[in-house]
Structure 1
Amino acid sequence: MLQVNDKAPLWEGVDQNDDRVSLGRLLEKGKKVVLYFYPKDSTPGCTAEACSLRDGHSDLIKQGYTVVGVSPDSTASHRKFIEKQSLPFTLIADTDHSIAEAYGVWGLKKFMGREYMGILRATFIINTEGIIEKVFENVDTKNHYQQIINK
């Protein structure tokens, strides 16, 4: 997994509207980025995390952040998740998990005795120069917005 002071890998992906989004374009616009990786749309922990970021979105915007979520779900799944939870930010469909791999968050997981490959929940705070300022590996899904604000 990438660490503080690492250069954030540039990525390009497709959002919930099938539009191309890239870290490079966000940085060119002078945006700081909250890039959060989560396992699956509409699951309890992922919904709690997304809703925390939704509830604190205006404060994050005031601090100059753009919020981008990444999971291996499809664009159609992202659209449903955004509509159901009224999410005001972009979700990237990383169906080939290439973005997750670049950030070191695609790895072995265990659930109920079963091992499988999947997204390791993490958030990267990227400054306007594309440098990682903070990494959250222990995400408090219900209070994630507060974790970011209090970094």
Structure 2
Amino acid sequence: MSIYDINVKTIKGDEQSLAQYKGNVLLIVNTASKCGFTKQYAGLQALYEKYKDEHFEILGFPSNQFAGQEPEENEEILSFCELNFGVTFPLFTKTDVKGSAAHPLFQYLTDHAPGLLGIKAVKWNFTKFLVDRNGNVIKRYAPNVSPEKIETDIKQLL
């Protein structure tokens, strides 16, 4: 199985295969609108604008699994991200990223890039996973790692 065998739902509810992102460098992030790290949307958007023409995509997956910090419905999440941070990178439907109901994408990501001390579970909002053009999970970043600090790694893959 590869990351490209996984299907996801866009924030508007359309089924989509990750195969459409083959050949792109991906930064996959679990997000939340009411988190101390929410301001990272601005840094993510800046990276997206800078590198989107070089086959770079950011995929945002809102999750309400951490202290209820994403209580809104998909429509409100999209509106919040667009109005407050000018987000134009793809957002997906609210997603479980940990536990027995974790979406297959996040099961795949955490299996291939465990966190500190080998712990697989996503620990908080704005955990980031960098995937190369061939679908290999290259690195996992803790929530407190700002998007700007990931730029060098992204550039190396582009």
Say yes or no: TM over 0.5. Answer: yes
TM-score range, shorter chain: 0.5 to 0.7
Alignment of 1:1-151 (within 5 A): 8=3, 10-27=5-22, 30-38=23-31, 40-45=32-37, 47-72=38-63, 74-84=73-83, 85-93=85-93, 94-95=95-96, 97-98=102-103, 99-104=105-110, 107=121, 119=124, 121-137=126-142, 139-140=144-145, 143-144=146-147, 146-151=148-153
Conserved 8 A contact 1:60-1:149? no
Could you say what secondary structure the match of 1:25 adopts?
Answer: helix
For 2:18 and 2:41, locate their aligned partners in 1 and report how far apart those are by CA, in whole Å. 20
Q: Evaluate the alpha carbon distance shift between residue 43 and residue 132 of structure 1 in structure 2; reply closer, same or farther with a 3 A threshold.
A: same
How high is the sequence identity, in percent, across the aligned residues?
12
Task: Flag the 1:130–1:53 CA change in 2: closer, same or farther, 3 A.
Answer: same
Q: Give the structure-2-normalised TM-score.
A: 0.65
Alignment CA distance shift 1:88-1:11 (3 Å): same
Structure scoring higher RCO (CA < 8 A, sep ≥ 6) equals 1
Q: Which runs of 5+ in 1 are unaligned?
A: 1-6, 110-118
Amino acid at match of 1:88: T
Instruction: Indicate conservation of the 8 Å contact 2:4/2:17, yes or no.
Output: no
Distance 1:77 1:97 in 2: 22
Q: CA deviation at 1:121?
A: 3.7
Give TM-score scaled by structure 1 length.
0.68
3-state SS of paired residue (2:42):
helix
Q: How many residues align?
A: 129
